[in-house]
């Protein structure tokens, strides 16, 4: 069942050049963003050292205070970077994709929180003249007597709640809706820390350059949230006025929602992307839920498909035609933007096949140049639509039935005893020469990633959106 090599007579002139151009821009943004982060960390470290930070390390109490100042500076930079990472800034989303941004956000978040705790402990210990027994009383005095410290304490409490509920063990016990609401306290926590840092932090006022740097970073973070998380969604919803037109059962526990609106040709959505949806049906409407497009946007309507696994998705079955909808998006890099090669492989599991179904419809490819590997438990979704795409576009479809056969495998039990790598290279011998698009549960997607890497696929051609949150 190898791919058929057919000259691509469908691809318009210039498509390959546009793909390469967008890939180069995205690579430059990734490099530039990493460089700016390290430059900011080095700059605040330089200001700390120039202000006597290194000399202060010679004494016990002064050394504790100096180390506390440095960890506070680094924590502040990373806290603001954390806000920027999840502010839905288009240039970052295009370059990194939501999965990669979320992983980086998580790493930066835990690092900044650890540094923040070190800052509080070291500063307090230093102000207590290096006497550990005096630190509780000193902490109380600092909190109630220094400007902005009460607000900083409240901000720290908010961040503790966010971090505690972000640990994997805690996330498994929380509904997505509850976790998402608690996670919004991160914005409050960062905001409450601002007065303390700007009023009492000597490094924030040590020079005009430092003052401009810190105020500029705060304004950039706050502005990104206001523009991309608040302003743009409000403008798009006022412009497009989305409404539900139909709710269609696809399988047991799976429904598709069809929507229409005004001027959808200017929404700039691409197949494979997702929106955060809020259906105005009554109580609970304010909680957003991320669902991917399951059909290529055609300028007239949209379709999403979701499994009924939580309160939000279960409520989809009760939607009525005419229901107003608020959206944020489109988001994600599981789209044509990530593509660099003429041949593609789409690998999905369960309802994760939804964005791949849209990609199979919208992406440009010659007959035999696109293959879909689809694992499902009982019966496949969109089987008639995939059959039509196979007949009309030359999409190769390989069904992998059955529950996941082992924790470290992404194959279904119905495939047989062959190992993952052998199966993949048998079905798609040239997988290392393709762009691979993957959507499914987080652990399952990680298993696919291991197999494609073992098959020689470069990391920058593995494009994924997973269900993990």
- Reported as a single tens digit per residue, the pLDDT across 173-214 is 666 656 666 666 677 777 777 667 666 666 666 678 888 898
Q: What is the DSSP letter of 297?
A: -
Say which range, 52-56, 314-318, 393-397, 444-448, has the weakest mean pLDDT.
314-318
Q: How confident is the model at residue 82 (pLDDT cuts 50, 70, 90)?
A: confident
Look up the pTM and report it.
0.83
pLDDT of the residue at 466: 80
Give the mean pLDDT of 127-152. Answer: 83
Q: What are the CA-CA distances from residue 411 to residues 347, 362, 387, 400, 439 (Å)?
A: 11, 26, 22, 7, 14
Q: What are the CA-CA distances from residue 429 to residues 102, 360, 368 (Å)?
A: 32, 20, 13
Give the mean pLDDT of 344-357. Answer: 96
pLDDT of the residue at 178: 62
Q: Do residues 428 and 407 make contact, with C-beta atoms less than 8 angstroms apart?
A: no
The pair of structure tokens assigned to 305 is: 């498909």
Average pLDDT score, the chain = 86
Q: Do residues 265 and 256 make contact, with C-beta atoms less than 8 angstroms apart?
A: no
pLDDT of the residue at 195: 67
pLDDT of the residue at 159: 77
Q: SS3 of 300, please?
A: coil
Q: How confident is the model at residue 145 (pLDDT cuts 50, 70, 90)?
A: confident
pLDDT of the residue at 183: 66
Q: SS3 of 154, please?
A: helix
CA distance 108 to 427: 39
pLDDT of the residue at 9: 36
Containing 40, the helix (H) or strand (E) segment is: helix 15-50
Which residues are 464's β-sheet partners?
438
pLDDT of the residue at 182: 64
CA distance 373 to 364: 18
CA distance 369 to 383: 19
The full set of domains in the chain, from first to last, is 15-236 (no CATH), 241-331 (2.40.30.10), 336-466 (3.40.50.80)
Percent of the chain with pLDDT over 90: 55
Say which range, 71-75, 166-170, 260-264, has the weakest mean pLDDT.
166-170
Q: What are the CA-CA distances from residue 303 to residues 184, 246, 311, 321, 364 (Å)?
A: 28, 10, 20, 14, 20
Q: How confident is the model at residue 38 (pLDDT cuts 50, 70, 90)?
A: very high
| Nearest by Cα to 277 from 321, 329, 239 | 329
The pair of structure tokens assigned to 273 is: 């992307």
Give the mean pLDDT of 56-82. Answer: 92
Neighbours of 261 (CB within 10 A): 19
Q: Do residues 363 and 391 make contact, with C-beta atoms less than 8 angstroms apart?
A: no
- Per the rule left: phi > 0, alpha: psi between -120 and 50, beta: everything else, 18 is alpha
Containing 451, the helix (H) or strand (E) segment is: helix 442-454
Q: Do residues 314 and 264 make contact, with C-beta atoms less than 8 angstroms apart?
A: no
């Amino acid at each position: 069942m190898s791919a058929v090599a057919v000259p691509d007579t469908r691809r318009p002139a210039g498509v390959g050049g546009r793909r390469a151009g967008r890939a180069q821009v995205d690579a430059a943004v990734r490099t530039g963003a990493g460089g700016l982060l390290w430059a900011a960390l080095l700059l605040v470290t330089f200001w700390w050292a120039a202000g006597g930070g290194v000399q202060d390390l010679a004494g016990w109490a002064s050394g504790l205070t100096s180390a506390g100042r440095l960890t506070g500076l680094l924590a502040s930079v990373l806290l603001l970077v954390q806000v920027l990472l999840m502010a839905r800034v288009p240039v970052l989303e295009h370059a990194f994709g939501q999965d990669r941004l979320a992983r980086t956000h998580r790493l930066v978040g835990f690092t900044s929180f650890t540094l923040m705790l070190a800052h509080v402990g070291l500063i307090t210990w230093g102000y207590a003249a290096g006497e550990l027994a005096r630190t509780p009383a000193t902490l109380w005095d600092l909190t109630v007597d220094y400007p902005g410290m009460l607000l900083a304490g409240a901000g720290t409490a908010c961040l503790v709640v966010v971090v505690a509920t972000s640990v994997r063990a805690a996330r498994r016990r929380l509904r997505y809706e509850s976790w998402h609401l608690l996670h919004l306290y991160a914005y409050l926590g960062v905001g409450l820390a601002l007065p303390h840092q700007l009023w009492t932090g000597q490094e924030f006022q040590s020079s005009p350059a430092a003052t401009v740097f810190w105020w500029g970073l705060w304004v950039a973070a706050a502005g990104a949230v206001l523009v991309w998380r608040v302003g743009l969604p409000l403008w798009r919803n006022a412009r497009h006025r989305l409404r539900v037109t139909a709710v269609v059962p696809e399988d047991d526990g799976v429904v598709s929602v069809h929507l229409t609106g005004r001027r959808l040709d200017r929404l700039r959505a691409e197949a494979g992307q997702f929106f955060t949806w809020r259906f105005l049906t009554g109580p609970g409407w304010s909680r957003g839920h991320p669902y991917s497009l399951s059909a290529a946007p055609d300028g007239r309507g949209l379709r999403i498909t979701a499994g009924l696994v939580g309160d939000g998705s279960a409520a989809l079955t009760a939607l009525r035609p005419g229901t107003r909808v608020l959206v944020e998006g489109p988001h994600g890099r599981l789209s044509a933007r990530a593509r660099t090669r003429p041949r593609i492989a789409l690998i999905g599991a369960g309802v994760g096949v939804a964005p791949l179904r849209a990609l199979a419809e919208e992406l440009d490819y010659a007959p035999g140049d696109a293959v879909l590997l689809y694992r499902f438990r009982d019966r496949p979704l969109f089987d008639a639509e995939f059959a039509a795409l196979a007949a009309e576009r030359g999409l190769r479809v390989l069904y992998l039935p059955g529950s996941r056969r082992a924790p470290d495998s992404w194959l279904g039990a119905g495939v047989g005893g062959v190992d993952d790598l052998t199966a993949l290279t048998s079905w798609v011998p040239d997988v290392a020469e393709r762009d691979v698009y993957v959507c499914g549960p987080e652990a399952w997607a990680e298993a696919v990633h291991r197999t494609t890497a073992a098959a020689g696929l470069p990391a920058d051609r593995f494009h994924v959106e997973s269900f993990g949150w």
